[in-house]
Amino acid sequence: MTSIVLMGVAGCGKSTLGVDLARILECPLIEGDEFHPSANVAKMRSGIPLDDVDRHGWLAALGTELRRYPDGALLACSALKKAYRDQLREAAPGLLFVYLELSPEEARRRLEIRAERHFFQANLVTSQFEALEPPLAEPGILALDATLPLAELTQRVLEWLATPA
């Protein structure tokens, strides 16, 4: 299996889809949020957006983690900018991306629901969309409407993976 990044803004369902796919594909799930250094987490808890410098070391750690799984893994990671995706591609050649598209309003609604369980603050949604460079013209991308039911999202990813390139 080729490694796959489940990407999109906060609240799009990367982790939820990742858990479902990891169970079915019987592969590791790397939860990108677990690799943020404490300074990044403190910034986000305080409602301060991360910048490229904050994300560089985090992405390097994720690249190292991807290399630990030569047989493939799933990575839940925002990968908002092309430069971030390219950094991950450099670490794991052949990397595929599933882009979960979501409106700012729906992202904010979802983040408000999980506010007590997660360090990412709903007021950071605007900065996520400002940073977002949709990957639609890049190779190895499957774009999905993040509001689809989980079973449908999972099925579409599995069908995509089963289709010869």
Evaluate whether 37 touches 45 at the Cβ level (below 8 Å).
no
pLDDT value at residue 116: 65
Other C-beta atoms within 10 Å of 41: how many? 14
Confidence of residue 164 (pLDDT cuts 50, 70, 90): confident
Tell whether the model's pLDDT for residue 154 goes beyond 90: yes
pLDDT given at position 90: 96
- For position 113, what pLDDT does the model report? 74
Who contacts 36 (Cβ-Cβ below 8 Å, separation ≥6)? 44, 58
Query: pTM, whole model, 2 decimals?
Result: 0.91
Q: Minimal CA–CA distance to 101: which of 13, 5, 19?
A: 13
pLDDT tens-digit profile of 82-128? 999 999 999 999 999 999 999 999 988 887 776 565 555 566 788 88
CB 116 within 8 A of CB 23: no
Q: pLDDT tens across 38-87, in order? A: 898 888 878 888 889 999 999 999 999 999 999 999 999 999 999 999 99
Q: Helices in the chain by DSSP H: which ranges? A: 14-25, 38-45, 52-67, 82-91, 104-113, 125-131, 150-162
CATH code: domain of residue 38: 3.40.50.300
Return all residues near 143 (Cβ < 8 A) that are at least 6 apart. Answer: 99, 101, 134, 135, 136
* Token digits of residue 145: 């409407």
The identity of residue 6, as a single letter, is L
Residue 165 has pLDDT above 90, yes or no: no
pLDDT at 114: 63
Give the chain's domain count. Answer: 1
Domain that holds residue 83: 4-162
